[in-house]
Amino acid sequence: MSSERLVPHNPATGQPLDPVDCTTPEGVREVVARARSAQRAWAATAADARATQIRAVAKAIGDHADALARSISDEMGKPIREARSEARSIAARVESFVRAADQALADEDGVENGIRVRVRWRPLGVVGVIAPWNYPVATPSNLLLSALLTGNAAVFKPSEYTPHTGALLHRLYAETLPEGLVGLVQGAGAVGAALVASDVDMIAFTGSIATGQAIMREAAATMKRLVLELGGKDPMLVLPGADLQAAARHAADEALRNAGQVCVSVERIIVHADVAGEFTRRVAELVRAVKPGDPRDESTTFGPMASARQRDLVLAQLADARSHGATFVIEGQAQGPGYYLTPSVVTDLKPEMTLVKDETFGPVVAIQVARDVDEAVEMANDTRYGLGASVWGAPGPELDAVADRIEAGMVGVNRGLSTAAGGPWVGWKMSGLGYTRSVTGMRHFLQPQSQARRAE
Ligand code: NAD
């Protein structure tokens, strides 16, 4: 460990938490080397035996859901009930990961021109897992489970905002699995960069586009495999024929969940002019009922933002929108102690506003009005992002056709995506490179190898 230390802060109070030592560059290399030694035996372990051990990890995470939830709340301000369900979600989804890995690992055989080709799917080796702070248990676990079930070792770097949660989560993996198989390194961007530059074979990263680009540049030197899950500017289209109350509920819930700090969420709403007034009135009514509270209180649904930096970024976007003529139906206020920012509902948005162009990642219901369906689709696609989206309207082929025109990796039709299972977790355009979940997502953690023989 180095003399450098991380000092996370409790976002509800602004008070510092216990410091955590950063891993030195030498320490990063050692952790990676230990993971590499442990990986050989793990890759040679039968897939069903690996799955049994991974199920035990998921159970351990569920058994420690209360401790993990307290740590998540203290480090990034998530309301305790949501934090607990985040920790419990791993056990609920482990079976779908096991099934997908099982299918992804299956050999494929074919015969052509007298040659039999067998495609074997082989683990890559050691996967560096670099995670953000907004879902500090669920997000790294998605990447760790994928890496481990496919026979890889992993080295995990939690966000510098959630190092204690990261350490606790790591302990649950490390205590259940063979020694050294899952390593931990702690620190901010420099430690992440050291992990990318180290002897790992792949980086599985979730975070911002800017960091994803830095990782891609660094990884080019050794042609490391990459899965990059990046930011979004998820549009929600509300069209005539939509159940406006259900749409308003979805808009308020998903724009404000986790104080708006969710990657697949509602970042902007594009509402058809015919229903814009009624929809906006209903959303505003729901948002007015949202009251900020102490994240450790079981009844709290809306907590502080995770950091002063994140709050200030959102405040800057709101100030920019104001200066370009936006209308504030509800104006959010920064409140202390801690990094609270109450929700905003903003309309009359223009394409040049940062609130429209850039990811906000904060508690803002941002509403744009479109003259017709074509304009709504155009506005939805007029972005460098392409993570999630949803379309709301009268169910049927016309609405399905609108969904088909949206340039996003995940599109909900009259619903969000939060519980959709089985499909890939995937971004389009600059929202990601490669993807996870599903059989094809699992294959990003594997190297295909063609073995050719004369057919008998
Ligand atoms: P971030 O990019 O600032 O940091 C993410 C991680 O990368 C941290 O652990 C950080 O220490 C590390 N890092 C920073 N610089 C690095 C470098 N040069 N090399 C290697 N690692 C480096 O992102 P954040 O603020 O922690 O998280 C918020 C972002 O994450 C948002 O953009 C959000 O949309 C995105 N996100 C995406 C998904 C998804 O599934 N697509 C899920 C959750 C969050």
Q: Please tell me the predicted confidence (pLDDT) of residue 242.
A: 98
CB of residue 157 inside a 6 A radius of ligand 1: yes
CB of residue 86 inside a 6 A radius of ligand 1: no
The 10s digit of each residue's pLDDT in 240-250 is 999 999 999 99
Q: Please tell me the predicted confidence (pLDDT) of residue 418.
A: 60
The 10s digit of each residue's pLDDT in 91-140 is 999 999 999 999 999 999 999 999 999 999 999 999 999 999 999 999 99
CA 120 – ligand 1 centroid, Å: 33
Which atom of ligand 1 has the smallest separation from the CA of 229? 41
Which atom of ligand 1 has the smallest separation from the CA of 310? 25
| 170 has a pLDDT exceeding 70 | yes
| Pocket test residue of 78, 184, 263 for ligand 1, highest count of atoms within 8 A of CB | 263
Q: Please tell me the predicted confidence (pLDDT) of residue 32.
A: 98
CB of residue 131 inside a 6 A radius of ligand 1: yes
Q: Average of pLDDT values for 155-169?
A: 98
CB of residue 359 inside a 6 A radius of ligand 1: yes
Q: Which residues contact 350 (CB under 8 A, 6 or more apart)?
A: 324, 325, 326, 356
Tokens of 398: 């016309």
CB environment 433-442: b (16+ within 10 A), e (fewer): bbbbbbbbbb
The residues assigned a catalytic role are 229
Burial class (CB in 10 A: 0-12, 13-18, 19+), 88: middle
Would you call 345 helix, strand, or coil by DSSP? strand
Q: Which residues contact 453 (CB under 8 A, 6 or more apart)?
A: 115, 116, 118
| Pocket test residue of 169, 211, 359, 429 for ligand 1, highest count of atoms within 8 A of CB | 211
Nearest to 100 by CA among 142, 38, 58, 65: 142
Q: Please tell me the predicted confidence (pLDDT) of residue 278.
A: 98
Q: Please tell me the predicted confidence (pLDDT) of residue 420.
A: 60
The pLDDT confidence band at residue 143, using thresholds 50, 70 and 90, is very high
| 2 has a pLDDT exceeding 90 | no
- Distance, in Å, from the CA atom of 305 to the CA atom of 318, rounded to the nearest integer, reads 15
CB of residue 386 inside a 6 A radius of ligand 1: no
| Pocket test residue of 76, 170, 205, 206 for ligand 1, highest count of atoms within 8 A of CB | 206
pTM: 0.98
Rounded to whole angstroms, what are the CA distances from 400 to 114, 394, 414? 45, 10, 10
CB of residue 132 inside a 6 A radius of ligand 1: yes
Which atom of ligand 1 has the smallest separation from the CA of 132? 26
CB of residue 198 inside a 6 A radius of ligand 1: no
